[in-house]
């Protein structure tokens, strides 16, 4: 075993890769994609919540419900304006976000203490106005509850009589745990960064060299094939780890600049948490290049290898998709499973918990073992004539 020879191969591959602007752009894009998407998404959500605090409510038939209109105008940030002639069409055409329609018999039924008809016209497919619609519905429900209580009091009946249950919510999770549920996609972005930043070097140093016919001169050198494979893997691993660490650092920077208080969330990523995330997800920087080098050995061209990588990236996103439907918790059986174990540990760290050293060890060892298996298989392929003549 010669670490110096492997280091020479790794240095050669890194030098070749970073002479290619595509490799540099791939690393930069893969590193910045996740944090920029996080910033954009949460800025949009925070902007929608903030916009819902200062809204104009178009009302059709406002003269039919002066008491309701006066009450709404007394609420903070609410302005009542005349509604359009055709409310449903106006909402469909997105000229207005939400319209309240007060029926003509509102006053009669309201004075008789009967349910007074009010319609709220909105478009539930428009996610950017859900905060506004939610606030309008909340205000109307509040008005209805207040008037209902006043009517009971006027009749000498306690409003408590109308409440058959007194439900008290007991929340056992911490604020950080609840906030972590919003950010459980961060581990997925980190794992994706490990797979995407090292992908260019892993594919170009194998399938790319095979296509350019520069692999044969390299294999003629009196160097064991597995050392050549290990050198290429080391180069891709360096890029993958750099991309993963860069994504984590930039994500922490972006999170510190976001106004999460507008969403009612308090969340900060401190240094110990960042180091634990790096330790939990870091082994993916070893696994991803090993898998990519192995798969690229089957490709006859760089383009074909890239198509294989597309399917690999899809497989990596599966835990993130599953977590949106079924929350992934950290279970002992998950630790030895690469990607799933890292994802579960990352989610636990974001919620403020500290996994045991044994969990870090199991997840890391299993990931390195898997990387070793794929490197062994790749070195077997490099020892075959098909790697040269199988075009």
Q: Is the pLDDT of residue 310 over 80?
A: no
Phi-psi category of 156—alpha, beta or left, where left has phi over 0 and alpha has psi -120 to 50?
Answer: left
pLDDT tens-digit map of 260-300: 666 666 667 788 888 999 999 999 999 999 999 998 888 77
Tell me if 168 is assigned to some domain. no
CATH number of 100's domain? 3.40.1710.10
Q: Is the pLDDT of residue 114 over 70?
A: yes
Q: Is the pLDDT of residue 378 over 70?
A: yes
Quick one: tokens of 246? 């860069």
**Among 118, 134, 162, residue at a domain's last position:** 162
Tell me the longest C-alpha to C-alpha distance in the chain.
100
Tell me if 169 is assigned to some domain. no
Does one domain contain both 216 and 112?
A: no
Residue 301 is predicted with a pLDDT of 77
The whole-chain average pLDDT of the chain stands at 82
Residue 265 is predicted with a pLDDT of 63
Does one domain contain both 27 and 67?
A: no
Does one domain contain both 309 and 202?
A: yes
Strands 99-102 and 118-121: antiparallel
Does one domain contain both 179 and 291?
A: yes
Residue 119 is predicted with a pLDDT of 93
Residue 271 is predicted with a pLDDT of 86
Residue 76 is predicted with a pLDDT of 87
Residue 326 is predicted with a pLDDT of 65
**Among 162, 191, 210, residue at a domain's last position:** 162
Does one domain contain both 121 and 198?
A: no
Q: Are 265 and 182 in contact (CB under 8 A)?
A: yes
Half-sphere exposure of 254 toward its Cβ, with a 13 Å CA cutoff?
21
Structural domains counted in the chain: 2
SS (H, E, C) 308-357: HHHHHHHHHCHHHHHHHHCCCCCCHHHCCCCCHHHHHHHHHHHCCCCCCH
Rounded to an integer, what distance in angstroms lies between the CA atom of residue 274 and that of residue 287? 20
- Mean pLDDT over 133-160 rounds to 88
Helices (H), 220-339: 225-257, 271-281, 284-296, 302-316, 318-325
Tell me if 152 is assigned to some domain. yes
Rounded to an integer, what distance in angstroms lies between the CA atom of residue 342 and that of residue 360? 9
Rounded to an integer, what distance in angstroms lies between the CA atom of residue 266 and that of residue 259? 9
Contacts of 28 (CB under 8 A, 6+ apart): none
**Among 128, 162, 196, residue at a domain's last position:** 162
Q: Is the pLDDT of residue 176 over 70?
A: no
pLDDT tens-digit map of 86-108: 999 999 998 999 999 999 999 88
Does one domain contain both 258 and 371?
A: yes
What domain range is 69 assigned to? Answer: 52-162
Does one domain contain both 374 and 246?
A: yes
Does one domain contain both 360 and 232?
A: yes
pLDDT tens-digit map of 350-367: 877 888 888 888 888 998
Backbone angles phi, psi at 102, to 5 degrees: -100, 120
pLDDT tens-digit map of 41-61: 777 776 666 666 788 899 999
pTM higher than 0.85: no
Does one domain contain both 40 and 61?
A: no
- Mean pLDDT over 188-203 rounds to 86
Does one domain contain both 247 and 362?
A: yes
Does one domain contain both 227 and 121?
A: no
Residue 344 is predicted with a pLDDT of 82
Q: Is the pLDDT of residue 164 over 80?
A: no
């Amino acid at each position: 075993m010669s670490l110096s020879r492997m280091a020479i191969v790794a240095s050669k591959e890194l030098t070749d890769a970073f002479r290619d602007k595509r490799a540099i752009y791939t690393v930069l894009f893969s590193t910045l994609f996740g944090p920029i998407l996080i910033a954009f998404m949460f800025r949009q959500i925070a902007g929608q919540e903030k916009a819902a605090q200062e809204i104009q409510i178009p009302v059709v038939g406002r003269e039919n419900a002066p008491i309701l209109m006066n009450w709404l105008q007394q609420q903070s940030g609410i302005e009542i304006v005349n509604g359009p002639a055709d409310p449903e069409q106006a909402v469909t055409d997105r000229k207005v976000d939400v319209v309240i329609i007060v029926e003509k018999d509102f006053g009669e039924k309201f004075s008789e203490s009967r349910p007074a008809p009010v319609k709220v016209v909105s478009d539930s497919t428009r996610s950017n106005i859900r905060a506004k619609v939610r606030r309008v519905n909340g205000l109307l429900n509040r008005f209805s509850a207040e008037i209902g209580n006043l009517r009971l009091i006027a009749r000498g009946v306690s409003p408590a009589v109308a409440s058959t249950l007194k439900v008290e919510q007991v929340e056992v999770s911490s604020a950080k745990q609840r906030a972590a549920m919003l950010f459980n996609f961060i581990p997925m972005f980190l794992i994706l960064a490990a797979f995407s930043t090292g992908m260019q070097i892993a594919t170009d140093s194998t399938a790319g060299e095979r296509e350019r016919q520069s692999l044969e001169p390299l294999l003629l050198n009196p160097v064991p094939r597995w050392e050549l494979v290990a050198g290429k893997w080391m180069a891709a691993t360096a890029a993958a780890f750099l991309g993963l660490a860069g994504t984590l650092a930039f994500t922490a920077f972006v999170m510190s600049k976001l106004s999460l208080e507008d969403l009612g969330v308090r969340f900060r990523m401190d240094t110990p948490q960042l180091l634990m995330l790096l330790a939990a997800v870091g082994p993916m920087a070893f696994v991803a290049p090993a898998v990519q080098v192995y798969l690229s050995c089957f490709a006859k061209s760089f383009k074909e290898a890239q198509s294989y990588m597309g399917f690999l990236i899809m497989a990596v996103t599966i835990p993130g998709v599953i977590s949106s439907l079924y929350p992934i918790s950290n279970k002992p059986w998950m630790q030895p499973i690469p990607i799933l174990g890292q994802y579960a540990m990352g989610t636990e760290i974001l919620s403020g918990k500290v996994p045991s050293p044994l969990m870090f060890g199991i997840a890391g060892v299993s990931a390195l073992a898997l990387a070793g298996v794929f490197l062994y298989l790749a070195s077997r392929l490099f020892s075959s004539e098909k790697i040269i003549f199988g075009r």
